Amino acid sequence: MSTQPPQQQSEEPAAEQSADAESTPAAQQRREDKKAADRDARDERQAEKDANEAKANEDTREIKVFRYDPEVEEKQEPRFDTFHVPFTKGMTVLDAVIYARDQFDPSLTFRHSCRQAVCGSDAFFINGQQRLGCKTQISELEEPIRIEPLPHQDVVKDLVVDMDHFYEEMEAVDPYFDPDETPDGELEEQRQSRQNREKVKMSTRCIWCGACFSSCNIAAGDNEYLGPAALNKAYRFAMDEREGDQKTQDRLETIEQEHGVWRCQTQFSCTNVCPKDIPLTEHIQELKREAVKKNLKFW
């Protein structure tokens, strides 16, 4: 007679049957199919992830950069080179040309320095308008993005233009502060009223980038025209109440010459392209008024 409880006797055969069922070829096949399905699901997820990453990496912007090198025979004929640069949020035109130079063509030549719209060295002709490369967002431009040197100036190489003439015009107006008197105390500052500071404040923002000079049709046709940047600089000092009276008169005589303020035709092109939002045309018109008042005689 068996000493095991009846219930235990009935469970043991069921367990043996379950083990036998799991070891059958059909059960093994089901396990293999499940593993294969799991692998396929993992592979599909990984493939989707890789595809998304590849798609992100393919988010590029097409730029066409002006190329010219007078020192290399095969590059003396001006042309445009096309580059596709990976796009990232906040990318500027300067970022794009730096990437093109570093990754594709180290001979690509352009000026840049601070990258904060302060130095004025990276003014380019971008999609038909003078702009600062470091201030111009790639996302705001239509493709292909054409990047050229500033018009109306001699090209030295690629995007680099000769700025000597521009600097000569700036120096012609003596862009330096010249008071009649200085404070007696060695450390005493030369005070300026708030009203006068507000009057000249915008004119002090000029960064000598040359964008306004390049956009001016008069400067393009008259090589002796002082240009909007130089006239703005003259305005900055002539309207400063701390400047000496004689120096102010000298400045007005400089700017009212034949190639001075009277050559301006009030086209506002300089004002439209100024990256520092200086009302250049307005300043030139005010200089005209001051020049007229200087010559008025009531006796």
Q: Determine how β-strand 60-67 pairs with β-strand 155-157.
A: unpaired
Confidence label for 294 from pLDDT (cuts 50, 70 and 90): confident
Average pLDDT on 108-120 reads 95
Task: Report the alpha-carbon distance of residue 82 to residue 76 in Å, rounded.
Answer: 18
User: Which tens digits make up the pLDDT trace of 121-166?
Assistant: 999 999 999 999 999 999 999 999 999 999 999 999 999 999 999 9
Average pLDDT on 250-270 reads 92
pLDDT at residue 112 greater than cutoff 90: yes
Would you state the structure tokens that stand for residue 295, as one six-digit string?
């010559």
Predicted pLDDT at 177 = 86
Task: Report the alpha-carbon distance of residue 229 to residue 195 in Å, rounded.
Answer: 23
Would you state the structure tokens that stand for residue 51, as one six-digit string?
């595809």
Q: Do 255 and 173 form a contact (C-beta atoms < 8 A)?
A: yes
Predicted pLDDT at 41 = 79
* Burial bucket for residue 175 (CB in 10 Å: 0-12, 13-18, 19+): middle
Average pLDDT on 87-95 reads 95
Residue reference for tokens 């798609």: 55
Predicted pLDDT at 2 = 47
* CATH architecture entry for 164-179+192-295: Orthogonal Bundle (1.10)
Q: Do 231 and 284 form a contact (C-beta atoms < 8 A)?
A: yes
- What is the overall mean pLDDT for the chain? 88
**Cross-strand partners of 75:** none
- Can you give the residue ranges of every domain in the chain? 60-160, 164-179+192-295
Pick the CATH number of 60-160 from 3.10.20.600, 3.10.20.30, 3.40.140.10, 3.40.50.2000: 3.10.20.30
Task: Report the alpha-carbon distance of residue 281 to residue 240 in Å, rounded.
Answer: 18
Predicted pLDDT at 13 = 54
Give the C-alpha distances (Å, rounded to integers) separating 75 from 40, 78, 213.
54, 7, 28
User: Whole-model pTM?
Assistant: 0.77
Confidence label for 1 from pLDDT (cuts 50, 70 and 90): very low
